[in-house]
Amino acid sequence: MTNFFHSVREDIAAVFESDPAARSYFEVLTCYPGLQAVWAHHLSHWLWQHQLRFLARWVSQVARFFTGIEIHPGAEIGRRLFIDHGMGTVIGETAIVGDDVTLYQGVTLGGTGKEKGKRHPTVGNNVSIGSGAKLLGNITIGDNCRVGAGSVVLRNVPANSTIVGVPGHIVLRDGKRVVITDPKDIRDPLSDIIIKLATELHELREKFQQHTHEALGDGPILTTDEAPSTPNISPQDLFQDDYQI
């Protein structure tokens, strides 16, 4: 019982720390469905662990009705989880959520099929997941990560990363911008187009240099392999210089 009240105090403190709109304890206790859903999960998870599976599911469904947040009783939730607004948030049965995690409205920690066993995401400590983001499958999101609103994450994410897009790709890691260069890593149609344009621009530069060389009377047009003065510029070099995103 002491641990329960200690957890309640921690959860309330997390609300005040994470939400500047919180004004009073009474308001937090009565008007924050994310907090109420987390407390209901404490009960349903205890019932689940003691093999009272139907009662656990019933408690979780009652909490879903009143809060709009569905947390499966089997999910493992860490300390000080803050679900801001929360309507439409879903946390699957085998999901694991670390400490000091913030979830915004419409986040899904879901599965990708009918596989058995661990089929939902594992979220590390101090992770923030934006509105509408979908984390699907047995993937791991490292500590201190940030997932952008509306992102769809299907692969593991290393710690200290920022992920955006559909499908999600890393744009920041350890505070440094990650240059988008490899479409195999990104698998994003827009990025494929950008890389294709960069490749064509590289080819046009080579052709321009060859035609300029011929127009100045320095000899016939040379191929890329034959031209000694043609700089060896790759599409990745273009991204590093003028086309960094």
Average pLDDT over residues 159-166: 88
Is the domain of 190 the same as that of 174?
A: no
Please check whether residues 46 and 143 belong to one and the same domain: yes
In the predicted structure, residue 183 carries a pLDDT above the cut 60: no
Last residue of some domain: 178, 208, 233? 178
What mean pLDDT comes out for the span 217-227?
54
- Average pLDDT in the chain: 82
Structure tokens at 205: 């530069």
Which structure tokens are listed for 119?
């089929």
Lowest mean pLDDT among 41-55, 104-118, 219-233: 219-233
- Are residue 98 and residue 206 in the same domain, yes or no? no
More confident residue, 190 or 242: 190
Using pLDDT thresholds of 50, 70 and 90, give the confidence band for residue 220: low
From residue 156, how far is each of 117, 139, 145 by CA, in Å?
18, 5, 11
Q: Among the residues of the chain, which ranges form H helices?
A: 2-18, 25-31, 33-49, 53-67, 183-186, 189-215, 235-241
Compute the residue count for the chain. Answer: 245
Beta-strand relationship, 169-173 and 176-177: antiparallel
**Tell me: the pLDDT tens digits for 126-147?**
999 999 999 998 999 999 999 9
What is the average per-residue pLDDT within 8-17? Answer: 84
How confident is the model over 78-106, as a mean pLDDT? 90
Same domain, 166 and 208: no
Greatest CA separation found in the chain?
Answer: 91
Among 78, 81, 70, CA closest to 17: 81
Check pLDDT > 60 for residue 184: no
Can you tell me the mean pLDDT for 174-185?
Answer: 64
User: How distant is the alpha carbon of residue 138 from its chain centre?
Assistant: 14
- Which of 77-81, 178-182, 190-194 has the least mean pLDDT? 178-182
Q: What is the DSSP letter of 9?
A: H
Task: Report how many domains make up the chain.
Answer: 2
User: Residues 105, 213: one domain?
Assistant: no
Which pLDDT score is estimated for 186?
53
Domain co-membership, 75 together with 173 = yes
Same domain for 47 and 30, yes or no, is yes
What is the model's pLDDT at position 243? Answer: 40
One domain, residues 143 and 127: yes
pLDDT in tens, 36-76: 999 999 999 999 999 999 999 999 999 999 999 999 999 99
Q: Left, alpha or beta for 149 (phi > 0: left; psi -120 to 50: alpha)? A: beta
pLDDT of residue 245: 42
Q: What is the pLDDT of residue 238?
A: 47
161 phi/psi in degrees, rounded to 5: -120, 155
DSSP 150-183: T-EE-S-B-SSEEEETTTTEEEEETTEEPP---H
Domain of 236 in residue numbering reads as 186-241
Instruction: Identify the pLDDT of residue 75.
Output: 92
